[in-house]
Chain A
């Protein structure tokens, strides 16, 4: 999903899912990240909400991030198949003050991996967000548990975040984007290699038949 390179300037367009159980703060996270605002009362998301964040990554790279904020209620998951298509990464959110939403986040991750993957068959990068950290604290034991969970379940990392207090919001997103860009580079390289192999094979087969 990369744009054309002009004078060494590249523009990328990535679709990032924001998923997790309902009421964990997905919409608040997105609003903080995109608009740097926090609202105490937000309407429930029904279906999906979209936002765009443009990041000037470095002097020759711009990233356009499409954030797909997906309804969290169990009942509405029948539609996920449609929402998940062609996404490049995911922020999986849970609410630190509500333990069951961590299980929920793991279920979401599982569903994500069963529906989307990178071209090379690996899971798309996903970051686990322990949201509402302004209301409670991650103790050391929890931290090591989360670390372990990340490894087991294939998250590329975790952050404790607060959309309300603007803690780690940019950092978490940046971390994800970095991985998406790396994947993107790798897949471009792989494609180039494949093309070269194809060319070689073609020229080989050409030579034998002559």
Chain B
């Protein structure tokens, strides 16, 4: 598996041409050659086309076309002060070191405010959840506010439904599912987490609610999102399983973390090699996941 920044320019140009071709006859590709699209997402979307590709893959483009003028309409409304207050307090707390969001009241923060506010008006019964802000911020790094809004709508409603709703039942349920899957994929890790009564909520909340955008190194976030937009939430599950398996998968590793706190500490500081772009892409691809995760055991 190659790292995207190592790709020679002529190869990258070829890929861009392929992606442009796909984007230009998108419906045909999705209907007839979905496997090929999936494969190309696994290879990584060329950075210059990433925003567009995400919007197409997510169905945000269709939603936007079906609801022309909707974002502008929401954007022009004042919004519920209850939500505005919370959103405003969060604006400078998303990727504070990213140039786009660094300036208080700068364009990045303004757009973030507009997108999140628009969502609370779009789904007043849902309102705003703090975990939506990093999601919207990642989208805004790749597309204009209106597109980011529809991307957010798709993530909240199609990809991770219920994750941000009151009660947070969906995330708790997915925590249980993750834990059940872990039993099959990495019984040693499963037993250890069970022994120390470490509820999945303690380690997977931020991973899942933010789709790993606050956990992985940036290059990996982008590659995971390329696959996530194509294949859905299962990518998030797979990344979670790979990390758990790699960090807690052998008796030897567990020796160092005998206890609830020690284990959680370990899961907070995942070894960089397990989060590397090339490593993760390889481990997360479907041909790998059922195998014994050979590489991370050494």
Contacts and interface: CB of A to CB of B under 8 A. Distances in A.
Interface in A23-56: 23, 41-44, 46-48, 50, 52
Interface string B137-149: 0000000000000
A152 to B, nearest CB: 27
B169 interface: yes
Contacts of B86: 22, 73
A78 B96 CA distance: 27
B206 A47 contact: yes
B84 interface: no
A44 to B, nearest CB: 5
Interface residues on A, range: 20 to 34
Contact of A76 (B129, B199, B264): B129
8 contacts: A42-B96, A43-B94, A46-B134, A47-B202, A47-B206, A66-B261, A75-B127, A79-B205
Contacts of B268: 50
A209 interface: no
**Top 6 A-B residue pairs of the complex, sorted by shortest distance between their CB atoms:** A47-B205, A78-B168, A41-B96, A75-B129, A82-B201, A46-B206
Interface of B: 86, 89-90, 92-94, 96, 127-131, 133-134, 164, 166-169, 171-172, 199, 201-202, 205-206, 209-210, 214, 261, 264-265, 268
Given A78-B167, A82-B201, A44 B130 contact: yes
B88 to A, nearest CB: 10
Contact of A43 (B96, B168, B199, B205): B96
Contacts of B129: 73, 75-76
Contact of B93 (A42, A47, A48): A42
Nearest to B210: A46
B205 A46 contact: yes
A96 interface: no
A52 B134 CA distance: 27
A46 B210 CA distance: 9
Interface in A74-122: 75-76, 78-79, 82-83
